[in-house]
Each structure stands twice: as structure tokens, then as C-alpha cells.
Amino acid sequence: MISHIEIRDLAIIKEISADLFPGLNIITGETGAGKSVVIEALSMALGARADTDYIRRGADKAVITIVADAEGSSVSAVLDEIGAPDEEPLIIRREISAGGRSLCRVNGTVVPLSALGKLCRCIADIHGQYDNQTLLDPSNHLEILDRFAGEELLRVRGMVKDAYEKYSAKSAELMRLKKTVTDSARQRDLYAFEVNEIDSAGLTPGEDEELSEKIKLMQNSETVYNALSEAFSELSSGDSDALSALGRCVRELSSVSDLSADLLGIYERISSAYYELEDASSEVRSLRDRSEFSPEELDEAVERMELINSLKRKYGGTVEDILAYRDKAAGELSDIENSDERQKELERAILLCREEYDTAAARLSKLRKDAASVLEQRVVTELEELNFSGAAFRVRFDQASVSALGNDRAEFLISANRGEDLKPLAKVASGGEISRIMLALKSITADIDSVPAMIFDEIDSGISGRTAGVVAEKLRAIAKDHQIICITHLPQIAAKGDHQFRIEKHYDGESTLTTLVPLSEDERTEEIARLLSASEITDAARSAARELLGK
């Protein structure tokens, strides 16, 4: 819903600021007062192309700002897509400079005009001589028809979508497999060589680290042997070695250890140290005995390490990386060797998925055509009520490529007068006719229409009397669930409004300016009486106005 509009320096508007409301907002005024400028301003703010000729004489730029409450619409997704903040309320600002530059801002962020148009199609439709109307775009017609048809069709459409996604996934997998098979001869030999090379090495995880330590020891074996021999000698060779001395201490203290707690404590500590040192001495001797390596052993270890390093340079920085690469290559090799069978499996699966899709799509297409027949009859009835004598409406179906929406393409065609050929909605020439055709369609689809605001211009062109009353009732009915902004010259339509504004034009001594004034109840009576009067407002016109307003 559009809650506020500000217009500065556009055509004969110096500055207009007005709050708009839910329901039916009516704008009236004298011919030439500037009603069309307000609609043009809304159209520009909602993404239409801007013309610098609209900038007020003497001004550097024109600025239009609208504030919208986008709750319940698909605005959030579009804001995310165009990179604008998702904030409430939504503030859209359009600047048109005299130099020809146009600037669009959404919640303070500059966006391209195309992005603004995409966003604003979620906010409002303008029905009249302007172009941002979702119903005029054939790409929206299938969605409108599907939502009109109801739950059963939407359920079947979900089945079509699921079948299409399975079909697409299998088809994509088959394409990847075929691409792999194309290069399979070269790849098969490469993977087989790599797997064999790694397997032949007989690697074990952590082997490179253990081997590196062993080589370091072997390269320093003489130094290590001498150090261990000297250490063993000091620990346990001769009467003056450490173990002998510590053993004598233990024997001496054992004879007195039961005399006091302190003596027992020191005896136990030295005794423990003796046995710990004895274990260490045994380990030193074992290490010494194992520290002698032959040159052949060293050469074998170095050669083994060189092999591992060579594999690392090819397949990964660690033995674990090499083994992981081996498993991956073996898997690819298996896929290639079994590709013929896998290809046959995928082709069978694709056929089944396509059969499932075609069955669901055929059912969907029939439901669409059944719904189209109902929609066609209802639209013709609505058009006849709106004084389109002999009008015709058709939903044309064409074959489309396979997609998640089925294989139908739909477009709405209309003939506004008896004898005229059916044409796409966008090719209906008259702004007034377009507005009333849109009103007919909106009367049927309003409860499924997600666009919260509708703006009608020229909807009263060429109608009066009973037809004007029908138009008014339809606008009022749609306004129960949507905000409507409607410019009109007809008192029957104006009287049905929930809120009314008057466009006024006055001269300030230098130039002619336009303002937008909200009307009180008494002012509404006077304005509708003016619309009913040929020249001067009479008491009879005021009485008729009060009757129209239900007073």
C-alpha cells in the first residue's frame, strides 16, 4: 500500500505532499488542473521512463517520493536481489535533473531503473495509459490463470515441478558422464597408472615422519653410540657407578627405616630412585645396542624417503594426502570402467522421469484449459456489465519448452467490440478501454492478486449512467482487499470513495501551480455537486450529491 506521496517541481506542481489510505482513494478536479501529472509522477516513481520536459520551469530537478507499506508482498526477495535494505516503511525516491540524469533510490540506496521497475511491480499496478501493469505482461498470464484455477491445479503443478527437477537432475548427471566418457581413454590410462604407482609404494600413514627420524639417527649413529656408551658406563659399570652408589645408600637406610616416619620416607624415595635409574640404565644399553646401522640400511632408508617425496610432489604434501588421492583416482577409474552400465541406468531413469513429467504436465494442461474456459466466460460477463457490447475474451495456449511450470504458454486476448479481431491486452489502444478491461479482470482475480495497490486513470472515459455505477461498485468491491487510487470525473464513482482529494490549480502571481487537497465530508458533498452540475452548483445538485453519498 502507498501511504504517502510527495511531488516537487514537476510540471505545474511546485510541491504536493499527501497521505493516502487503505480502501478507495478518489482524486477529482477541474479539467487541466493537473490530475494527469499526479498519475505521471506515480508512474515515474514506480519505474516508468522520465521525461525532462516535466521539470517545472526554473527548477533544476523534479523529485517524487513515495512511502509504501510492503508487508505481505514479495518485496523482501526483490530488495535482497537488488541490494537495497529491507526496511519498513519502504521509501522510493526518484530524481529527474534538467541535465537528463535520473536517480533512483530505494531506502537510501541507489538502484538502476530496471531494478526499481521490478520492485514496484510488487507494489502497485497503474491502469490507464501507462505501462507498468502486470496484467498486460503475457509472462504473468500463466501464473494468474493457475492461481485462478485453485488448489487442485496448484497441487498438480507441484507434481510437475517435482518430476521436472528429477528429470533435470538425471539429465545433468548423464551429460556429465558422457563428457567424462569422451576423455575416458586418456583418463583411464592416467588413473590406472596413478593408482598402480601409489599401490606399488606400499605406503602406510605416518611412515614419512618415522622414516625421517630414523634417517636422522642413522646419519649420526657414531655420535649417538658414543654418547650412549659413556652414559651407560657412568650409570652401571664398576664400583663407582651411579647405580652402585645408590644401591649402597638403599642398603644403609633399610636398616634404620623403621625407626621413624622421616627415615622411612627418605628410604622409600631413594629406593624408588634406584629402581627408576636401573630401568633407565637398561634402556640406555638397549638404545646403544640398536644405534649401530650399516651403510646399506641408511641407503635403503634414504632411497625410500626419496620415493615418498617424489609421490608427495605429485599427489599431496603428506602420506595421508597421497593415499586420499589414490582413493579418489580409483573411484574415477571405477566410474569410467563402469560408465557404459551407468549410462544405460541413467537413460532408463530419464525415460521414467520424462514419462512421469509428461503425465503430470498433460494433466496440468487440461486443468488449465478447463480453468481458462471458466475465466473466459466470467470475463465476458464482466465486460458486458462494463458496457463492452459483443466483447470477446480468450486464453490462447501455445506449446512451451519443458519447464517446472509444465509445457504451456498462455496469453490473454481480447476483442473490446463486436467484429474486432482478438488482440493481446497490451495492444488495446484506448486508455479508458484498458482501464475498464483491467477492472473486469481485477474483479475476478482480486482475491488472488498479490499486488497491494492499484491506480486507475481514465477508467471513466466514454461511460456514464448505469455503466458508471457498475464501475463504481466494482472499484468499491476490489478496494475491500486492495488500496485503489482512482482519478475520475464521474460523481457516481467519486461518491463510492472511502477518501477523496481534489486537485486545485491557482496562480501565485508568477506561475500557475497545482495542489492536492484532502476533502472533509462537507467538501466532498460540494465537490460531487460540482461534478453533477453543468455550470453553477445548485441546491438540486447538492441534494443529489448527498443522495449519492448516502447522507
The per-residue pLDDT for range 396-433, each reduced to its tens digit, is: 999 999 999 999 999 999 988 787 889 888 787 566 67
The per-residue DSSP string of 35-51 comes to HHHHHHHHHHHTT----
Q: What is the pLDDT of residues 434-462, one digit of tens each?
A: 778 888 888 888 777 778 888 888 788 77
- The pTM (predicted TM-score) of the whole model is 0.65
Mean predicted confidence (pLDDT) in 68-75? 73
Beta-strand runs (E) in 355-469: 392-399, 408-415, 423-424, 453-456
Beta-strand runs (E) in 388-536: 392-399, 408-415, 423-424, 453-456, 483-487, 499-507, 512-518
CA distances from 200 to 137, 203, 311, 336, 506 (A): 67, 8, 11, 22, 98
What percentage of the chain has pLDDT greater than the value 70? 90
* Alpha carbons 184 and 335: distance in angstroms, whole number: 10
| 268 against 357, higher pLDDT | 357
pLDDT of residue 36: 79
pLDDT of residue 449: 73
User: What is the distance between the terminal CA atoms of the chain, rounded to a whole angstrom?
Assistant: 29
Q: What is the pLDDT of residues 258-294, one digit of tens each?
A: 777 877 888 788 788 878 877 877 776 777 666 665 6
pLDDT of residue 240: 60
129 — pLDDT class (breaks 50, 70, 90)? low
pLDDT of residue 156: 96
The answer, yes or no, to whether residue 308 has pLDDT greater than 50, is: yes
pLDDT of residue 280: 78
130 — pLDDT class (breaks 50, 70, 90)? very low
CA torsion angle for 117, 121, 123, 126 (degrees, to 10)? 100
Beta-strand runs (E) in 276-324: none
* Alpha carbons 390 and 417: distance in angstroms, whole number: 6
Residue of 493, 462, 516, 430 lying closest to 128 (CA atoms):
430
Q: 532 is written with which cell numbers?
A: 453533477
pLDDT of residue 366: 97
**How large is the greatest C-alpha to C-alpha distance in the chain, in angstroms?**
141
The answer, yes or no, to whether residue 131 has pLDDT greater than 60, is: no
Q: What is the pLDDT of residues 82-126, one digit of tens each?
A: 888 888 889 999 999 988 788 999 999 999 888 888 888 888 888
CB-based contacts of 413-420 (< 8 A; 24+ apart in sequence)? 415/390, 415/391, 416/383, 416/388, 416/391, 417/388, 417/389, 417/390, 417/391, 418/389, 418/390, 418/391, 419/390
132 — pLDDT class (breaks 50, 70, 90)? very low
Ranked by mean pLDDT, which of 18-22, 72-76, 382-386 comes out on top?
A: 18-22
Kindly report whether the peptide bond that precedes residue 138 is cis, defined as omega within 30 degrees of 0. Answer: no
| 410 against 140, higher pLDDT | 410
3-state helix, strand, coil in the chain (%, to 5): 55, 15, 25
pLDDT of residue 463: 78
Cβ within 8 Å of residue 432, ≥6 positions away: 458, 459, 460, 461, 462, 463
Q: What is the mean pLDDT of the chain?
A: 84
